[in-house]
């Protein structure tokens, strides 16, 4: 599952001093968008922890989804 995760900065810039920081964690069609404000101490560490928590949450959610047109599992050939 870890090979399918994407963490993307959806902010307007890469500068962590911006007013509105948005980080998206995505696994296929499911995603979480986290917003941050610049005044948080140790912001890079907070973002990393939130990205890991979002991955865990999405992984659990995928385990509960049963839709025939969405496949999250890799098919072994």
SS3 content of the chain, % helix, strand, coil (to 5): 30, 25, 45
16-74 confidence digits (pLDDT tens): 777 888 999 999 888 999 998 877 777 778 889 999 999 999 988 887 775 656 565 65
74 domain residue, yes or no? no
Q: Which two tokens stand for residue 75?
A: 């098919």
Task: Please tell me the total count of domains within the chain.
Answer: 1
**For residue 76, is pLDDT > 60?**
no
More confident residue, 75 or 46: 46
Can you tell me whether residue 33 is helix, strand or coil? Answer: strand
Q: What is the pLDDT of residue 53?
A: 94
46 domain residue, yes or no? yes
77 domain residue, yes or no? no
73 domain residue, yes or no? no
The residue range of the domain holding 53 is 2-64
The confidence band for 77, taking pLDDT boundaries of 50, 70 and 90, is very low
φ, ψ of residue 35 in degrees (nearest 5): -110, 145
């Amino acid at each position: 599952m870890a090979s399918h995760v994407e963490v993307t900065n959806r902010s307007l810039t890469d500068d962590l001093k911006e007013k509105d920081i948005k980080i998206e964690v995505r696994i296929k069609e499911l995603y979480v968008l986290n917003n941050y404000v610049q005044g948080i101490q140790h912001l890079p560490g907070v973002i990393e922890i939130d990205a890991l928590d979002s991955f865990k949450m999405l992984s659990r959610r995928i385990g509960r989804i049963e839709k025939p047109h969405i496949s999250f599992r890799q098919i072994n050939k």
